[in-house]
Structure 1
Amino acid sequence: MVDSIIEPIAEQLHIRPAQVKQTLALLEEGNTVPFIARYRKEMTKGLDEEAIRVIQEQYDYQVNLAKRKEDVLRLIEQQGKLTDEIRSDVAACDKLSQVEDIYRPYQQKRKTRATDAVAKGLQPLAEWLLNLPMHGNVEKEALKYISDLVPATAEAIQGAKDIIAEKVSDDPKVREKIRRSVENYGRIVTKAKKNHADEQRVYKMYYDYAERVSTLATHRIMAIDRAEKEKVITVSFDYDKEYQLEWCYRRYTHKRPSIADPYIREAVEDGLKRLAFPGVERAVRNELSEKAHASSIEVFSMNLERLLLQPPMKNKMILGLDPAYRTGCKLAVIDETGKMLEISVIYPHKPINKQAEAKAITLKLLQKYPIDIIAIGNGTASRESEAFIAELIQENHLSVSYTMVSEAGASVYSASKLARDEFPDLQVEQRSAVSIARRIQDPLAELIKIDPQSIGVGQYQHDLPVSQLSSRLDFVVSKAVNRVGVNINTASVELLKNVSGLNQSTAKSIVSYRNEHGRITDRKEIKKISKIGAKSFEQSAGFLRIEDGKEILDRTGIHPESYALAKAILSRLSLNTADMGTSKAVEVMKEIKVQELASALNSDPYTVADILQAIAAPLRDYREQYDGPLLRSDVLTLEDLKIGDEMEGVVRNVVDFGAFVDIGLKDDGLIHVSKMSKKRISHPSDIVSIGDIVKVWVCNIDEEKHKVQLSLLPLH
């Protein structure tokens, strides 16, 4: 591995080059990111999954960059035009786009005005003009190039100017100068098109808008891109083009008087206005869009991770309610294991309005089963359904609570082959009610069944590059599954295939083995399952949990390779496996010096610390650190609110400009980023995450638009 590639990655992540080197070596050996992050901390010095992912991506980029630099130098050398200056300029590039700018003058071009002029033999005339002759006559010089292909001096001179114009446009120094001007001092300007189709005035802000390119927020870039795509606005850049023209003119004339001066000025102006300005502006727009895409993908992945890691409502019987108007609200009762017990449908809303019957059916279910929580999907008719349930609870003095559940992607799952296989006798909407109920009982196990891109917790997600988004979200799913771990005896194929070292095929093998042999009783037995070899076992074993098995360590995140060390630690602390998770074990932990214990046992502090944590809390769920669902028993309307009211709500989505919070109204309220902290913050995710239960204050109510603005800061 080349140090010139490793050093920039280490610098970017503020870590030592040795950590990058070790991580890359582990990846090269076929280890997965979750396995390295959890079980090879001593080698990476504790790098987490995100850092390992960045190392992997940056390494691939740096390798591609180095290869492209070699290719460009070789191609220029083949033309006999490679100089020490070009070699030095290429070596200094840290972006592929910079390398391409240097190569631009030397690459094979499609037919252009300049290539046409070169083909007609006008290159020497262009070079004569660029040599800045002080004496002579340009038209007389041009007579030398008259031929069947060039019938007039005017055409010869124009051809020479076309060659100069393209040379100017291809000049990497010129392009870099324009780029810096646009990025550092330019403004992006948007104007509404005549007769555009923005009837809802969604893009009203951009009908007449200008902002410095350097301050343009990524969500505004996405909005501008979409408005332009929908033909609502035109987009242009405003920067000092006259200064660029003069600078470029001086670059090619060196302030020397010449008879070629007016021709060079015309060629420079043409090269910039016709070629360089539009080309660089396109490149800047592309880079802005790429930056916005990267930011949106980051926001989406961060939100998805928190959604997947919502704490499960274990051992609860749930009534799932999928709201609708005309087709009725579907009800599904699931038991503590997620098994569906009963399905029904009610019509409490318009146009059918069978309120009394709906209440009777729902009440009967609540009396028949010991329902702990009612889970209401937050889609169409959700708030009317919430009001219906709240009224039912109040009228009958029921001890049950309800919560609103994001139903993003529920319809996608309900119509999928997976759902049809699971519930072949149910209709699509009925499956959706079961999914909504299961989403609070075990969010990870249920949401894993849905294509991550269908879970709408991002911004402008439909405008993002599909492959990049898909790759990033798959990584998030894998990270979440492995952080939590899975019960090998109950996990679905969809859950198992995301475990480190497993895939669709090996996940199916595990389920087939369970079906044929019954419960798996210890981790050693995993080796007997077909298609699971030594590497697959090594990578997956620590993440596959076995509850109530032969070996108590199998229920923890301790890897089998460390069982001997774990038992040595227990012995040294005068504990046994039966003491794991007891107050006795927790008390003993308080006195331990991890570094000393690791040295005494010839181990490392990272592995020892993880083992100690597992001894203290063998069944600890990683998700316990986050807020559970907010349970309610009453409903709220806009009329109930006044400025200054203190509320409690659940963060439903985090975007670049703020966070949307469910406080019990039909539409989520917005906390703008400016209302989140008295200090300057780089992104709303610094303060809140999806699923957080937050205390907020009402700071503005727009009754006409039914919108509420909230603040995390008290108003007084």
Structure 2
Amino acid sequence: MTSASTVLHQIESALTGELGVELSSVRAVIELLDSGATVPFIARYRKEKTGGLSDVQLRLLQDRLGYLRELEDRRSSILQLLTERGVLEPSLKASVLAASTKNELESLYAPYKVARRTKAQIALEAGLEPLVDDLLEVPLADLHDIAAAYIHPAEKGAPDDTAVPDTETALAGARAILHEYAVYDHELMDELREKLWNTGVITSKVVPSHRTVLAQETSKFSDYYDFSERIRKIPSHRLMALMRAEKSGEVKVTVDVAEVPGPKTGLKGEALARHQNLTEGYETARASFESAVAFALGIPVQILNTVSDDERVLGWLAATVRSAWRQKVLPRLAADLRTQLTERAEKDAAAVFASNLRDLLLAAPAGNRTVLGLDPGLRTGVKIAVVSPTGAVLDTAVIYPHAPQNRWDEALDQLETMVREFKVELLSIGNGTASRDTDRLAGDLLKRLAQQGNDGVQKVTVSEAGASVYSASALATEELPDMDVSLRGAVSIARRLQDPLAELVKIDPQSIGVGQYQHDIPGNILAKSLDATVEDCVNAVGVWVNSASPALLSHVAGINATTSEAIVKFREENGAFSTRQDLLKVPRLGPKAFEQAAGFIRIADGSEPLDASGVHPEAYDLARAIVHDAGGMQGSSVSAEKLAQLKPEDYVSERFGLPTVRDIFAELERPGRDPRPDFQTAEFTPGVETIDDVAVGMILEGTVSNVAAFGAFVDIGVHQDGLVHISQMSTGYVDDPHKIVRSGDVVKVRVTEVNAQRGRIALSLLLEEKPAKPKHVRGNHSSARTNASKPGGARKGSGVAHRRR
């Protein structure tokens, strides 16, 4: 077996090649990760060692490192198992060693891990392998004459099922052996898997129970009732939609060499011609795969095109090749490719969710302002909570302005009283049921206030996703123990306007609702991706330790849930932390955790001014020297003008390289800088409150609520987000919608289509309609794929594959 050092070297080389990173950087990152360092810490404070890799690059490297280590462990296990079973031929071993994905490994191992006795194994025990050789040698002979020589009872002591009572049993056993030869021929399977990936299609057809006009008009999956696309071209989001449509029971999804033609009964004209073309194309494509199977089994390819009766070996061999392809090879290859497609789609969907979550967490905070949160409702009323600039709850109430009670004026009076009493600056309105009605109420309130000389209050609609989850959580019970569950949502809606990051970390990321098919992604994959995103966002902003909640502190590098609770408890018992060094007094927070966390912890008005910055304590002496040379007092801030007169290069040492020195300069220029954008709000168009109010051609303002691989969803205030398809984002080509918009962006859009029955609104970022492009014939372009993207290893050599296992 391969030594540990050799495996590590192989992994390092693979990472270097895949990520385009220097080998020295890869080795440094692996060493740091293995020592317990966190990605935020490495990205921020170990740039010299990593070559300045970003947190995104480090996350990718960390994920690939884990995957490759698991891959090598599995490879070692499979080699050991194949060796113990005595089936590890040189060619199989070479394929196992060359496999670059877990899916490839499992595909190679799959034929050998069957626990039960297969039909082929029983036939081999019955001594029918020589019959296979005889049949291959005399293709023109009478079939049953050849098979008759192998009729015999079960040998003494052998299982009863090894008896061969007639020629039909003998021939069935011989066919099972040939089927197994094909499936066990890993070179053949690799070749056909590659070919099916490049030329095959994935299709979906509506099941009979949904073949109605009503179903096609109302189902959200009707686009997939008759769908076909090349396997290698289908985008991840479409694959996920296809799988969901199949799961719903409305369609059947298949993977095949080409689109399978349906019944031609009743077809005429163009429909019949299309059916004939499909039939010809399918038969031609299938024939090429069956020819490869025949060649690998040592059967003359010509027999597939020979007309022969069933009594001759020739016809039997042709039928055996076709059944091997249809019953054994194609189903296994289709399962392999579906697994590969699904894994890729899940990975892409998790990445989209993580990107949207990052945008949401790093959305512009309104800051320290008094906010009145409104959690809209009809029958149950609108829940209200006023929170102070520090997030403390000042007052709560429930008003009933909407049907069935319709106490509009009374609600306005109560809102006005609360705004005046607590000097409210912002109204935060949840975007759920009755949101637009509540927004209209808020609008009337602002008009009333403006008439009285108070025009400084603004209203903002925010996403209330996850607010109900928070309200019923143990954390909410601990934070707001004496408050009714229904009112806690209003508190969350108010606080998330003040600081989205600090509030949203209290909610399970999967409940925030900014994902693409997040419910179809395995929980462990999604959780890992989202937890990493939350950690990166929290550490990018930094945390004020004397006011942060345990939920927020738990995402600081080096700090877990237990440690965060200990920090808060220590703070409550001993008062506010005056320096970062005081963290070492917290039980269970040792030197390693302090090293990882200290740079991301902020302390305002403490005894050490640098504790309010992103400068790590390990570099305080250097920072003080820079401050001194800039004419400042020890540890104090300095003017940007004086700092600009110094050269970072002059402070480089063996311990601190130029990237770290430049970071220190940036921090001293603007201590504790917040990377988040400035706060802005969208203005919904008056009178556009439901989908029925939306008309084609309207120019509306809205907030990007979600970004997917195929476009972006925009909240225009009608309870049904509109979709800006990727093709409507720019006059040029767009490969990634995230390059155009981010969740939380305020945008102007043009309505291009409205389908109230299906609840769909199509929007465009192009406020003027694009001119139609001239039609042209699409060329048949192809491009080579890298080995990393291949579904199976390429077949080496062109000789006949071995028939024996």
Structures share fold, TM-score greater than 0.5:
yes
Whether 2:318 is the aligned partner of 1:265: answer yes
Q: Give the direction of change, closer, same or farther, for the CA distance of 1:256–1:708 in structure 2 (3 Å limit).
A: closer
Task: Specify the SS of the correspondent of 1:457.
Answer: coil
Residue 168 (structure 2) aligned to one of 133, 142, 154: 154
Aligned residue for 1:207?
Answer: 225
Whether 2:476 is the aligned partner of 1:419: answer yes
Whether 2:204 is the aligned partner of 1:190: answer yes
Give the conservation status (yes or no) of the 8 Å contact 1:696–1:713.
yes
Whether 2:291 is the aligned partner of 1:246: answer yes
Aligned residue for 1:95?
Answer: 101
Cα deviation code 1:46-66 (max 9, x no counterpart)? 112222222222122222323
Looking at structure 1, the residues matched to 515 and 628 of structure 2 have their Cα atoms a distance apart, in angstroms, of 49
Looking at structure 1, the residues matched to 392 and 291 of structure 2 have their Cα atoms a distance apart, in angstroms, of 76
Looking at structure 1, the residues matched to 693 and 167 of structure 2 have their Cα atoms a distance apart, in angstroms, of 83
Looking at structure 1, the residues matched to 135 and 80 of structure 2 have their Cα atoms a distance apart, in angstroms, of 30
Q: Give the direction of change, closer, same or farther, for the CA distance of 1:543–1:131 in structure 2 (3 Å limit).
A: farther
Looking at structure 1, the residues matched to 542 and 634 of structure 2 have their Cα atoms a distance apart, in angstroms, of 20
Residue 745 of structure 2 aligns to which amino acid in structure 1? D
Cα deviation code 1:35-93 (max 9, x no counterpart)? 11111111111112222222222122222323333333344344444444333333322
Q: Give the direction of change, closer, same or farther, for the CA distance of 1:238–1:160 in structure 2 (3 Å limit).
A: closer
Looking at structure 1, the residues matched to 241 and 577 of structure 2 have their Cα atoms a distance apart, in angstroms, of 52
Give the conservation status (yes or no) of the 8 Å contact 1:191–1:207.
yes
Residue 442 (structure 1) aligned to one of 491, 499, 509: 499
Task: Specify the SS of the correspondent of 1:574.
Answer: coil
Residue 66 of structure 2 aligns to which amino acid in structure 1? D
Aligned residue for 1:337?
Answer: 390
Q: Give the direction of change, closer, same or farther, for the CA distance of 1:289–1:104 in structure 2 (3 Å limit).
A: closer
Aligned-residue offset at 1:371: 0.8
Give the conservation status (yes or no) of the 8 Å contact 1:170–1:276.
no
Task: Specify the SS of the correspondent of 2:372.
Answer: strand
Q: Give the direction of change, closer, same or farther, for the CA distance of 1:131–1:73 in structure 2 (3 Å limit).
A: farther
Residue 693 (structure 1) aligned to one of 746, 750, 754: 746
Aligned residue for 1:458?
Answer: 515
Task: Specify the SS of the correspondent of 1:273.
Answer: helix
The range that moved more, 693-702 or 257-266, is 257-266
The range that moved more, 373-382 or 154-163, is 154-163
Aligned residue for 1:66?
Answer: 72
Aligned-residue offset at 1:314: 1.6
Residue 102 of structure 2 aligns to which amino acid in structure 1? L
Aligned residue for 1:23?
Answer: 29
Whether 2:506 is the aligned partner of 1:500: answer no
Residue 688 (structure 2) aligned to one of 617, 637, 645: 637
Aligned residue for 1:281?
Answer: 334
Q: Give the direction of change, closer, same or farther, for the CA distance of 1:633–1:265 in structure 2 (3 Å limit).
A: closer
Q: Give the direction of change, closer, same or farther, for the CA distance of 1:104–1:326 in structure 2 (3 Å limit).
A: closer
Looking at structure 2, the residues matched to 627 and 292 of structure 1 have their Cα atoms a distance apart, in angstroms, of 34
Looking at structure 1, the residues matched to 667 and 762 of structure 2 have their Cα atoms a distance apart, in angstroms, of 44
Aligned residue for 2:244?
Answer: 226
Residue 572 (structure 1) aligned to one of 622, 629, 643: 629
Q: How many residues align?
A: 710
The range that moved more, 85-94 or 374-383, is 85-94
Cα deviation code 1:195-230 (max 9, x no counterpart)? 249684111111122222222121211111111111
Aligned residue for 1:6?
Answer: 12
Whether 2:727 is the aligned partner of 1:674: answer yes
Looking at structure 1, the residues matched to 447 and 20 of structure 2 have their Cα atoms a distance apart, in angstroms, of 57
Q: Give the direction of change, closer, same or farther, for the CA distance of 1:451–1:600 in structure 2 (3 Å limit).
A: closer
Looking at structure 2, the residues matched to 105 and 700 of structure 1 have their Cα atoms a distance apart, in angstroms, of 52
> RMSD of aligned C-alpha atoms?
2.5
Aligned-residue offset at 1:261: 4.3
Whether 2:601 is the aligned partner of 1:521: answer no
Looking at structure 2, the residues matched to 333 and 99 of structure 1 have their Cα atoms a distance apart, in angstroms, of 58
Give the conservation status (yes or no) of the 8 Å contact 1:391–1:634.
no
Looking at structure 2, the residues matched to 440 and 137 of structure 1 have their Cα atoms a distance apart, in angstroms, of 81
Q: Give the direction of change, closer, same or farther, for the CA distance of 1:633–1:383 in structure 2 (3 Å limit).
A: closer
Give the conservation status (yes or no) of the 8 Å contact 2:682–2:746.
no
Residue 555 (structure 1) aligned to one of 597, 606, 612: 612
Whether 2:558 is the aligned partner of 1:544: answer no
Whether 2:273 is the aligned partner of 1:255: answer no
Within a 5 Å distance, the mapping from 1:303-702 to structure 2 comes to 303-397=356-450, 398-399=454-455, 400-577=457-634, 580=637, 584=639, 586-594=640-648, 596-599=649-652, 603-623=656-676, 626-630=677-681, 632=683, 635-637=686-688, 646-702=699-755
Looking at structure 1, the residues matched to 301 and 238 of structure 2 have their Cα atoms a distance apart, in angstroms, of 46
User: Matched residues, percent identical?
Assistant: 38
Looking at structure 2, the residues matched to 455 and 166 of structure 1 have their Cα atoms a distance apart, in angstroms, of 49
Looking at structure 2, the residues matched to 136 and 663 of structure 1 have their Cα atoms a distance apart, in angstroms, of 76
Task: Specify the SS of the correspondent of 1:622.
Answer: coil
Aligned-residue offset at 1:591: 4.2
Task: Specify the SS of the correspondent of 1:195.
Answer: helix
Give the conservation status (yes or no) of the 8 Å contact 2:725–2:763.
yes
Give the conservation status (yes or no) of the 8 Å contact 1:321–1:331.
yes
Give the conservation status (yes or no) of the 8 Å contact 1:164–1:264.
no
Residue 100 of structure 2 aligns to which amino acid in structure 1? D
Task: Specify the SS of the correspondent of 1:330.
Answer: strand
Give the conservation status (yes or no) of the 8 Å contact 1:373–1:403.
yes
The range that moved more, 549-558 or 145-154, is 145-154
Whether 2:128 is the aligned partner of 1:110: answer no
Q: Give the direction of change, closer, same or farther, for the CA distance of 1:386–1:87 in structure 2 (3 Å limit).
A: same
Looking at structure 1, the residues matched to 53 and 42 of structure 2 have their Cα atoms a distance apart, in angstroms, of 8
Residue 571 of structure 1 aligns to which amino acid in structure 2? H
Give the conservation status (yes or no) of the 8 Å contact 1:401–1:631.
no
Give the conservation status (yes or no) of the 8 Å contact 2:144–2:167.
no
Aligned-residue offset at 1:702: 4.9
Looking at structure 1, the residues matched to 302 and 600 of structure 2 have their Cα atoms a distance apart, in angstroms, of 76
Give the conservation status (yes or no) of the 8 Å contact 2:412–2:445.
yes
Residue 637 of structure 1 aligns to which amino acid in structure 2? V
In structure 1, runs of 5+ residues without a counterpart are none
Aligned residue for 1:126?
Answer: 132
Aligned-residue offset at 1:111: 3.1
Within a 5 Å distance, the mapping from 1:159-170 to structure 2 comes to 159-170=173-184
Looking at structure 2, the residues matched to 496 and 88 of structure 1 have their Cα atoms a distance apart, in angstroms, of 49
Whether 2:43 is the aligned partner of 1:37: answer yes
Looking at structure 2, the residues matched to 95 and 493 of structure 1 have their Cα atoms a distance apart, in angstroms, of 40
Looking at structure 1, the residues matched to 331 and 165 of structure 2 have their Cα atoms a distance apart, in angstroms, of 32
Give the conservation status (yes or no) of the 8 Å contact 1:340–1:434.
yes
Looking at structure 2, the residues matched to 74 and 366 of structure 1 have their Cα atoms a distance apart, in angstroms, of 73
Higher-RCO chain (CA-CA 8 Å, sequence separation at least 6): 2
Residue 568 of structure 1 aligns to which amino acid in structure 2? A
Looking at structure 2, the residues matched to 216 and 101 of structure 1 have their Cα atoms a distance apart, in angstroms, of 22
Looking at structure 1, the residues matched to 520 and 736 of structure 2 have their Cα atoms a distance apart, in angstroms, of 21
Residue 206 of structure 1 aligns to which amino acid in structure 2? Y
Looking at structure 2, the residues matched to 535 and 574 of structure 1 have their Cα atoms a distance apart, in angstroms, of 34
Aligned-residue offset at 1:633: 8.7
Looking at structure 2, the residues matched to 65 and 701 of structure 1 have their Cα atoms a distance apart, in angstroms, of 49
Looking at structure 2, the residues matched to 365 and 222 of structure 1 have their Cα atoms a distance apart, in angstroms, of 48
Q: Give the direction of change, closer, same or farther, for the CA distance of 1:137–1:459 in structure 2 (3 Å limit).
A: closer
Give the conservation status (yes or no) of the 8 Å contact 2:218–2:757.
no
Aligned residue for 1:216?
Answer: 234
Looking at structure 1, the residues matched to 651 and 449 of structure 2 have their Cα atoms a distance apart, in angstroms, of 60
In structure 2, runs of 5+ residues without a counterpart are 155-162, 258-284, 304-311, 770-805
